[in-house]
Amino acid sequence: MIVGFSSSIHKKYEGSTFQLLAETVSKALDMATIDLKDIDGIFYTVLPGVFDGKASLHFSSFQIPSFLGIKPKVIELVEYGGPSALTMVYRAEKLIEVGEINTALCVVGGKASFLRENKVTVDAVDRFLGNVQLTPYDDLFRVYQDLNPVSDYALVAKRHSKLFGTSDEQRALIAVMQRKNALGNERAMYKTPLTVKDVLESRVVSDPLRLLEIVYPVDGFHVFVVSKHQRKSDLRPLKVEFYGESHWSEMPPELPDIVYTPAVESSNGVNLERIDAFQLYDSFTITVMLQMEDIGLTEKGKGGEFVERTDITYQGEVPINTGGGSLNVGQPAFMSGGVILEEAILQLNDMATNHQVKDANRVLINGIGGWNRGHSVTMVLGEGNV
Amino acid sequence: MFEEIKKKYQEMFGNEKLPYLKCTRCGHSFYYPRDYCPKCRSRELEVRESRGVGSVFSMTKFRDRDNKEIYYGIVELEEGFRMYANFIVPVEIGDMVRVKFLGKESKVPFFEKI
């Protein structure tokens, strides 16, 4: 069960990434009342350029536990980008179940400001740091000018509009309702009310996606402590009630269509009727719309109509991204599975002050990530009551 | 084999021809080079020449650092494969396009509207 968690989010953190990591880990361990010596599993993720601007860490599996002073029995690197945080918690639970370990630390984040200030994203890090390969086919498509990941999701949004008549206003509604959720969230970076007009008047970054539909990469970590022992933790004994992952490894042009995500498969078999709130990966408004369709909240192509007729705020009938999501909290190190997982835990523990969903007993979290949207993880957290 | 395919692609680009791979066992056509078929694992592959004519599968536009408008997207070729590319002029989804090679020493396939 999850016995502790913490986050540290900064627009720009001046210290080293290791320092920021250590601060966040300390807060999570304090909450869990667990000592360093009790941690026997560590799960983490790292992306090129987000550890103090290094293309990679030599043996990150040594460097990270070494800095933190942890001597675990199990170390695992999970590289799914966005959904990594969800997978770490699941795998930690599984290893605890079979008795391999007792207590695991799950770590996701890094510093995004270094890349942001150098005007590259993690999907274009090869243009800044040498010797980084994004795909096996870089020499064929990196000759083109793109703005990935924004331009990739712009292609998806454009095609979604062409096939299904989805309007810019419909996508903007997602940003507007998520902002309403952010207004009461102390963790949110953006807390001024937003209208559809504001979204539509913001700068077009890559047609049709506008600035207010796009996540802001920040510095930060999320840390989750999963343990066999509840100790003094006041947190509810949450279990992973449903878990699915799916990986579509095709280059987007080779997919049957780009308007589907692997969430179609990772969510296969989940019972939506029992869910009280949804946390859907929101790197872009279109990402949220795709997941609404792919997990089955609405039919494919009907995401636009769905957001027109559904109140998705924390007080609404289908609460989605109840803390404002990554669009308002920021995207630590270009992968914000931690943002949506933390929000799910807050909701389930009645800790979401001023944005609490009433009677939240079961929350669905869906993470999307990796190169373009190759990975999807669907997870339901609850107490396991039937 | 993999290096040979990549070399062949560059040679064809140099001659302003658009290559693709065809699996002669299962018939799968694809653009991004692999020396085995990702559908049936066959090594019986042929580098073929596309007519270079297709339609716009999706597109976006944005401004580069010099404020120049860039048109980027995915093209679906008549032979049944898709690839990323830049367009020379603004296009819309469904527009018919034809390959045009740009660059002097190493040429790159772009697409223009027909």
The complex's ipTM?
0.97
- Distances B48 to A333, B37, B83 between C-alpha atoms, Å: 42, 14, 15
Greater pLDDT, B106 or A36: A36
At B2 the pLDDT is 85
| Contact across the interface for A162 and B94, Cβ inside 8 Å | yes
What are B11-22's pLDDT values in tens digits?
A: 999 999 999 999
pLDDT profile of chain A (386 residues), mean per 10: 96 97 97 95 96 94 97 97 97 97 98 93 91 93 95 98 98 98 96 97 98 97 94 86 97 97 98 97 98 98 98 98 98 96 98 97 97 95 85
What sign has the CA pseudo-torsion A27, A32, A34, A39? negative
Mean pLDDT of B87-111: 95
Torsion angle in degrees (nearest 10) through CA of A378, A382, A385, A386 = -30
Closest approach of chain A CAs to the CA of B57, in angstroms? Answer: 8
Locus of tokens 């042929």: B46
Is residue A322 within 8 Å of residue A279, measured between CB atoms? yes
Is residue A368 within 8 Å of residue A287, measured between CB atoms? yes
Q: Per-residue confidence at B105, pLDDT binned at 50, 70, 90?
A: confident
ω into A72 cis (within 30 of 0): no
Q: HEC profile for A92-133? A: HHHHHHCCCCCEEEEEEEECCHHHHHCCCCHHHHHHCCCCCC
Contacts of A254 in chain B (CB under 8 A): 30-32, 81-82
- How many interface pairs between A and B have CB atoms less than 8 angstroms apart? 80
At A386 the pLDDT is 60
| Contact across the interface for A205 and B59, Cβ inside 8 Å | no
At A297 the pLDDT is 98
Closest approach of chain B CAs to the CA of A144, in angstroms? Answer: 6
Mean pLDDT of B31-60: 96
Burial A318-329 (b: 16+ CB within 10 A, else e): bbbbbbbbbbbb
Cα A185 to Cα A207: distance, rounded to the nearest angstrom: 30
Closest approach of chain A CAs to the CA of B59, in angstroms? Answer: 5
Is residue A242 within 8 Å of residue A379, measured between CB atoms? yes
H helices of A320-367, where? 325-329, 337-348
Closest CA to A326 of A279, A292, A291: A279
Residue of B58, B70, B86 with shortest CB distance to A258:
B58
Contacts of A162 in chain B (CB under 8 A): 58, 93-94
**Residues of A engaging B, defined by a Cβ cutoff of 8 Å:** 119, 136-137, 139-141, 143-147, 150-151, 154-156, 158-159, 162, 204-209, 251-254, 258
At B104 the pLDDT is 84
Cα B41 to Cα A125: distance, rounded to the nearest angstrom: 32
Cα A116 to Cα A123: distance, rounded to the nearest angstrom: 12
Mean pLDDT of B45-72: 97
